[in-house]
């Protein structure tokens, strides 16, 4: 079998177009413009690239983008004061504090100071609890993007066996909660799981989020399974820099029914879902119906 390639780039472009259409309608019917604030502390090169892309995408869908770049030695008190001022600003519907923060700052305290209704990353402890108990919440962007692609490919997910490899708070755990919410039978596996390959071979849906380049080969994949590769690993091969996932693409694609490539799979969905979350937050803040198909 050769797997169908799930085109995350095209899927993300479609999500952004849907967001842009909703944003235009909000402006036209209610004179409301969703606003997204991004806070970057320090000059980490990867974070700077992310923030630049977020800013450009936010503008492109017609939202207001508020960028706050702070020096690396910003005090915790100053950062908390900025977060509180964004919480109070009615033009700001979504707040994202770029991680990782410099070591002298308490990330948990900063994230938990964001108004949960504006927490477009879904990292606030209230949103984690709401998702875990099946209540309406803000959902972390990458797992939300994976869920959208899975729903699109499968239709209903109920009854499918899902294995999530990786137990991070940002991807693995919320991914498992979302799949459970769609009535999958969910296993969370990780690098210490015994006979990981056998566990993975039980999966109709296999989500790889371990952060180890090309760890899951075709031996880990059930014939016909859907493989979602969340990994983004920079490696060097034949003297060249290369981006690879947590899945060994060639061997897995020979067995799977469908697979996301790296790059061009899950990656582009993260920013698209961030914009979807900012739109959702804006609709909720204004007592308007949520955009259909763009939430969990
Ligand atoms: N750093 C890398 N990805 C992300 C993300 O999705 N959200 C935040 N807040 N920081 C990040």
pLDDT digits (tens, 9 = 90+) for 218-251: 999 999 999 999 999 999 999 999 999 999 999 9
Task: Give the pLDDT of residue 173.
Answer: 98
C-alpha 224 – ligand 1 centre gap (Å): 32
For residue 237, the number of C-alpha atoms closer than 13 Å in the C-beta half-sphere is 8
Q: Please report the atom of ligand 1 found closest to the CA of residue 99.
A: 10
Task: Give the pLDDT of residue 42.
Answer: 97
Q: Are 127 and 119 in contact (CB under 8 A)?
A: yes
pLDDT in tens, 65-76: 999 999 999 999
Region(s) of the chain under CATH 3.40.50.720: 141-268
What is the C-alpha to C-alpha distance for residues 112 and 105, in angstroms, rounded to an integer? 13
Identify the residue whose C-alpha is closest to ligand 1 atom 9. 98
Task: Give the pLDDT of residue 292.
Answer: 94
What is the C-alpha to C-alpha distance for residues 102 and 99, in angstroms, rounded to an integer? 9
User: 1 pLDDT exceeds 80?
Assistant: no
Catalytic, 98? Answer yes
C-alpha 223 – ligand 1 centre gap (Å): 33
- The arithmetic mean of pLDDT across residues 266-270, rounded, is 97
pLDDT in tens, 12-63: 999 999 999 999 999 999 999 999 999 999 999 999 999 999 999 999 999 9
Region(s) of the chain under CATH 3.40.50.10860: 30-115
Please give the biggest Cα pair distance in the chain.
57
Phi-psi region for residue 288, left (φ > 0), alpha (ψ -120 to 50) or beta? beta
User: 2 pLDDT exceeds 90?
Assistant: no
User: Percent of the chain scored above 90 by pLDDT?
Assistant: 99
* DSSP string computed for 101-132: PPTTS-HHHHHTTS-GGGBTT--SHHHHHHHH
Looking at 18, 115, 119, 121, which residue is catalytic? 121
Residue 185 to residues 94, 168, 181, 233, Cα–Cα distance (Å): 32, 19, 10, 29
Verdict on whether the full-model pTM lies above 0.75: yes
Q: What residues line ligand 1, using a CB cutoff of 6 Å?
A: 50, 96-99, 121, 141, 270
C-alpha 128 – ligand 1 centre gap (Å): 16
Q: Please report the atom of ligand 1 found closest to the CA of residue 142.
A: 6
User: 295 pLDDT exceeds 80?
Assistant: yes
DSSP at 88: H
Q: Which CATH topology does 30-115 take?
A: Rossmann fold (3.40.50)
- The arithmetic mean of pLDDT across residues 245-266, rounded, is 98
Cis peptide before 263 (omega within 30 of 0): yes
C-alpha 66 – ligand 1 centre gap (Å): 16
Task: Give the pLDDT of residue 167.
Answer: 98
CATH 3.40.50.720 is right for the domain spanning 141-268? yes
Identify the residue whose C-alpha is closest to ligand 1 atom 11. 99
């Amino acid at each position: 079998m050769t797997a169908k390639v799930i085109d995350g780039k095209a899927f993300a472009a479609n999500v952004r177009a849907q967001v842009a259409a909703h944003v235009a309608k909000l402006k036209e019917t209610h004179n409301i413009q969703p606003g997204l604030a991004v806070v970057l502390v320090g000059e980490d090169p990867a974070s700077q690239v992310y923030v630049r892309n977020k800013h450009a995408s936010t503008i492109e869908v017609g939202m207001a983008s508020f960028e706050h770049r702070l020096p690396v030695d910003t005090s915790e008190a100053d950062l908390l004061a900025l977060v509180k001022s964004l919480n109070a600003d009615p033009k700001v519907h979504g707040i994202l504090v770029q991680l990782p923060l410099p070591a002298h700052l308490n990330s948990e305290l900063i994230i938990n100071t964001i108004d949960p209704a504006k927490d477009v990353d879904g990292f606030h402890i209230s949103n984690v609890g709401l998702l875990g108990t099946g209540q309406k919440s803000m959902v972390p962007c990458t797992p939300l993007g994976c869920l959208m692609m899975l729903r699109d490919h499968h239709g209903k997910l109920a009854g499918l066996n899902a294995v999530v490899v990786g137990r991070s708070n940002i991807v693995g755990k919320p991914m498992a909660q979302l799949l459970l919410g769609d009535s999958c039978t969910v296993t969370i596996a990780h690098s210490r799981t015994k006979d990981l390959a056998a566990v993975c071979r039980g999966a109709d849906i296999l989500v790889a989020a371990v952060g180890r380049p090309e760890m899951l080969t075709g031996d880990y994949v059930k014939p016909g399974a859907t493989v979602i590769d969340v990994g983004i690993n920079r490696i060097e091969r034949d003297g060249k820099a290369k981006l690879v996932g947590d899945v060994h693409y060639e061997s897995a694609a020979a067995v799977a029914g469908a697979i996301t490539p790296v790059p061009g799979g899950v990656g582009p969905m993260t920013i698209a879902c961030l914009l979807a979350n900012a739109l959702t937050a804006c609709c909720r803040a204004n007592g308007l119906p949520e955009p259909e198909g763009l939430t969990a």
